[in-house]
């Protein structure tokens, strides 16, 4: 099979926001306890943080980490997680039927962020609580006024404000599973009041309002429009969430799921622009895709874990080669929409549907999905170039709707002017055939191929495990530059990154 991409340095989608490669830590399963925090572990530092874990997080170069949820936040009292640990209450976590010990809270998370080389993205509880509690958390974290909450922060050992820039106004409040579930109008009103109080406390912060939990919601689109009609002038982003799986063991269909992600982005952009038109606003609403990943391997796993216990191991998906391919496709989709998607959080970072896994008391290891994320985060920096793609296609049918034509080639082309290089990220979705790819790079002066990393395996169901990380990217050869054209043959069912030096 043959495919061709045409790009030109003058035709740009957008500069890429580095926050596109962010992560997520929720009080869920072993993400916190036994994940990033495990006092007494051989790798634990003086704060109880696992050094092997935060070194791997640094490998992923995540500029933001969303915290503390997720569903957990919708019944969370943030005050439970500050102050002397021996005085912190144990609470039942109704989101995940667990026991929350509150030994890890806001101050611990801020300290972990500093060590892991990431910045906090804090969600406030707008499920069971409201604007006043959200404002007090901003005051605790960001203010230096000599007020009650800022003085309490000092009392507990932090003199200077944390200066948290990005805040989420709750989580998935459209979902009936959420503590404090509300309809769009009721949520829009409370989100507006919280936004006003939070921004009055610290005008420098940015706010993310809850969009639809998924495209499958019966209120999808209508929810987003109603919420934005209330909050448009006070928020900076609207959130999107999406998870995909291969429950029917149809790999060709599974690898096409990133096209649904593309559709979701385009439809929410349309809703945002509709509300802007209604309000005669010149402001462009941006998107925060702050939960995305593959999630299906661990379905039902929670039944094997005792309810109402601390850090019960749930949602520990073990990823395989085909999962790495789809993660690569989803990263490509996010980059190709960099003009509107400014924040994206892989959900989650450690143990819970995560690229990093740990053994209790044991070692940490990298799942297959770790690698497309790592290399896209490292080299997907700069400007996304607009592509014209000519590729063979195959036909799939999603849960509803007519059959769709899906390109065997998923790709994005990124120009990093500062580094003087172009990165081509490409997935060959064909399960049987190699794909001969030509990339026509107009208006560039090319010096040659820097490197070509490819990731593929004869068994698409194979994965990594503790002590056995054998599915990793390999250095490939054979990519050539001639007359401003890159030529390479992508193996069947492969993820690829080809970097080119620009003179």
Catalytically active residues, by annotation: 172, 291
Pairing assessment for the beta strands 485-490 and 435-442 based on DSSP bridges: antiparallel
The rounded distance, in Å, linking the Cα atoms of 34 and 49 is 9
Structural tokens at position 489: 């043959």
Angle at CA of residue 347, ends 12 and 38, nearest 5°: 135
Q: What are 82's two structure tokens?
A: 């500050």
What's the DSSP call for residue 246? -
**Two structure tokens written together for 160:** 């200077």
Q: How far is CA 124 from CA 106, 164, 420, in A?
A: 12, 12, 41
- What is the length of the chain? 503
**Nearest-angstrom CA–CA distance, 123 and 264:** 23
3-state secondary structure of 267: helix
Contact between residue 146 and residue 128 where contact means Cβ atoms under 8 Å apart: no
Q: What's phi and psi for 131, nearest 5 deg?
A: -60, -40
Contact status, residue 206 vs residue 138, Cβ threshold 8 Å: no
Per-residue CA distances from 177 to 24, 69, 70 (Å)? 20, 14, 12
- Whole-number Å distance between alpha carbons of 210 and 188: 9
Residue 498 falls in which region: left (phi positive, over 0), alpha (psi -120 to 50) or beta: beta
- Rounding to the nearest 10 degrees, give the CA dihedral for residues 55, 60, 63, 65: -80
């Amino acid at each position: 099979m043959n495919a061709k991409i045409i790009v030109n340095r003058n035709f740009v989608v957008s500069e890429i926001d580095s926050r596109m490669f962010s992560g997520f830590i929720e009080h869920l399963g072993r993400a916190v306890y036994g994940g990033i925090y495990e006092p007494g572990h051989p790798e634990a530092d003086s704060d109880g943080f696992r050094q092997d874990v935060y070194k791997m997080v640094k490998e992923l170069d995540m500029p933001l980490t969303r915290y503390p949820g997720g569903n957990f936040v919708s019944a969370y009292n943030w005050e439970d997680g500050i102050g002397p640990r021996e005085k912190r209450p144990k609470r039942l976590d109704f989101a995940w039927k667990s026991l929350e010990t509150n030994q890890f809270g806001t101050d611990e998370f801020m300290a972990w962020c500093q060590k892991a080389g990431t910045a906090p993205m804090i969600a406030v509880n707008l499920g069971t609580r409201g604007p006043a509690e959200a404002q007090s958390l901003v005051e605790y974290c960001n203010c230096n006024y000599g007020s009650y909450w800022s003085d309490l922060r000092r009392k507990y050992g932090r003199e200077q404000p944390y200066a948290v820039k990005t805040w989420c106004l709750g989580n998935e409040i459209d979902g009936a599973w959420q503590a404090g579930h509300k309809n769009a109008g009721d949520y829009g009103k409370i989100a507006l009041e919280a936004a006003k109080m939070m921004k009055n406390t610290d005008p420098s912060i940015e706010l993310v309002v809850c969009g639809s939990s998924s495209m499958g919601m019966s209120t999808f689109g209508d929810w987003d429009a109603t919420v934005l009609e209330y909050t448009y002038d006070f928020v900076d982003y609207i959130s999107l969430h999406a998870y995909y799986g291969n429950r029917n063991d149809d790999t060709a269909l599974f690898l096409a799921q990133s096209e649904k992600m593309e559709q979701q982005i385009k439809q929410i952009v349309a809703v945002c622009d509709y509300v802007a038109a209604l309000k005669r606003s010149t402001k462009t609403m941006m998107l925060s895709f702050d939960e995305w990943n593959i999630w299906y391997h661990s379905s039902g796993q929670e039944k094997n874990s005792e309810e109402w216990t601390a850090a019960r191991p749930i949602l520990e998906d073990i990823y395989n080669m085909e999962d790495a391919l789809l993660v690569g496709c989803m990263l490509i989709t996010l980059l190709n929409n960099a003009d509107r998607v400014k924040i994206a959080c892989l959900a989650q970072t450690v143990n819970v549907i995560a690229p990093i896994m740990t053994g209790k008391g044991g070692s940490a290891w990298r799942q297959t999905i770790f690698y497309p994320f790592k290399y896209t985060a490292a080299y997907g920096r700069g400007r996304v170039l607009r592509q014209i793609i000519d590729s063979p296609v195959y036909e799939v049918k999603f849960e509803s709707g007519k059959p769709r034509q899906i390109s065997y080639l998923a790709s994005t082309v990124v120009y990093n002017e500062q580094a003087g290089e172009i990165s081509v990220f490409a997935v060959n979705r064909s399960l049987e055939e190699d794909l001969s790819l030509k990339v026509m790079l107009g208006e560039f002066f090319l010096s040659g191929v820097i490197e070509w990393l490819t990731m593929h395996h004869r068994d698409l169901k194979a994965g990594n495990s503790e002590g056995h990380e054998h599915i990793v990217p390999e250095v490939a050869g054979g990519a050539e530059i001639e007359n401003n054209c890159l030529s390479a043959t992508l193996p069947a069912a492969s993820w690829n990154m080809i970097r080119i030096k620009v003179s």
